Amino acid sequence: MRARALLYLLTALLAASNYCHAEKSKFYYMDSLCKDHFLQRQYRKLDGGVLWSRNERNLDCTVTFQTHSILQRFMLHFDLLQLDCNDHLFVYDGAHATAPPKADLSCRNTKQQVGALFTRSNFVTLKYVTDNWGTDANGFKLVITAVKDPKHGCKEFRCKQREFCVSADLTCDGVDHCADGSDEDTAELCPDSGGAGAGSAWLVLGAGGSLLAVTVAVTAACCYCRRRAAAQRTHLQLQQMASSNGAGGSKPAAGGSPGSATRLPGNWALPAGPRGYSAARPGRLRARAQR
């Protein structure tokens, strides 16, 4: 029963792991990306990702993303864009921040005004510069998606209102990669998930944990019942043997003495023979009888 419970739990964990790690959207935070280490200078390949920023100060960092295929390019759109007037987000169409930027975003820009940005290459470079002042309201939420034109062959998911394709793994993960909501269409595409993304995985984990807890409780109850039944049988045997010895119905085993103990399974021992009899001192009893 315990092995079956562990099998159920492992199945639930595997299902949740496949759901969460099927190359859904990758989440990055600017304060982590902009740390001074060697990964900052590496190209990050992705099909889709979300870049978060919130009130970072004294930053001057550059990060570059790359598509998995040369036939793809990047689309960028903001779910949130509220920069401080002294902060700037530069978007470069390429692998380096050298040419004039495709966009220079600051406090004068809104997400409605910017809309969707498309690169011509399969690289996009972001440079984020901030001063030493800001509030928690300052920042952005940027969705980055690798897209492919249908003329190159669309074997993945094709967005409805836009003429390009995105990875099928990006559907139903709670992030609008098509910028038209078609990859998160809960009525047609993913009615079971409801666009919840990783929340469904936690539901699976919760169900597996509950099943394991119930299984452990049932196992413990069964063990308790078995032990109690065994103790009751032993107690009943003791009562029956005590009754037969008190009535004088039991006889000592061959070769044994009247004062020998009758052994039961375990460590139980019942004295046999009249009360006060001692096999080690029979002479004293005979002497008292003669008196």
Average pLDDT of 29-56? Answer: 84
C-alpha span between 265 and 67 (Å, rounded): 75
- The neighbour count for residue 192, using CB atoms within 10 Å, is 8
Average pLDDT of 2-22? Answer: 45
Average pLDDT of 23-27? Answer: 78
- In this prediction, residue 278 carries a pLDDT of 44
Q: 71-82: per-residue pLDDT in tens?
A: 999 999 999 999
**% of the chain at pLDDT higher than 70:** 56
Which residue(s) pair with 271 in the sheet?
261
The domain defined by 25-193 folds into: Jelly Rolls (2.60.120)
Q: 142-185: per-residue pLDDT in tens?
A: 999 999 988 888 888 999 888 899 999 999 999 999 999 999 99
- Is residue 163 helix, strand or coil? coil
Every domain of the chain and the residues it spans: 1-23+197-230, 25-193
Q: 50-65: per-residue pLDDT in tens?
A: 999 999 999 999 999 9
Average pLDDT of 101-111? Answer: 96
C-alpha span between 270 and 264 (Å, rounded): 8
- Evaluate whether 144 touches 48 at the Cβ level (below 8 Å): yes
Question: Would the pLDDT of 18 be above 50?
Answer: no
- In this prediction, residue 223 carries a pLDDT of 56
- Is residue 54 helix, strand or coil? strand
- In this prediction, residue 197 carries a pLDDT of 47
Question: Would the pLDDT of 83 be above 90?
Answer: yes
For the chain, how long is the longest CA-to-CA vector?
Answer: 129
Q: Is 129 exposed, middle or buried (0-12, 13-18, 19+ CB in 10 A)?
A: middle
C-alpha span between 60 and 51 (Å, rounded): 16
Q: Specify the DSSP class assigned to residue 170.
A: G
- Evaluate whether 157 touches 167 at the Cβ level (below 8 Å): yes
C-alpha span between 270 and 272 (Å, rounded): 6
Most confident of 163-167, 219-223, 242-246, 287-291: 163-167
C-alpha span between 33 and 200 (Å, rounded): 28
- In this prediction, residue 249 carries a pLDDT of 47
Please, which residues have CB within 8 angstroms of residue 219's CB and are 6 or more apart in sequence? 1, 2, 5
**% of the chain at pLDDT higher than 90:** 44
Output 67 or 282, whichever has higher pLDDT.
67
Lowest mean pLDDT among 171-185, 209-223, 251-265: 251-265
| pLDDT band, residue 96 (cuts 50/70/90) | very high
| pLDDT band, residue 276 (cuts 50/70/90) | very low
Output 59 or 219, whichever has higher pLDDT.
59
Average pLDDT of 90-101? Answer: 94
Lowest mean pLDDT among 237-241, 242-246, 267-271: 267-271
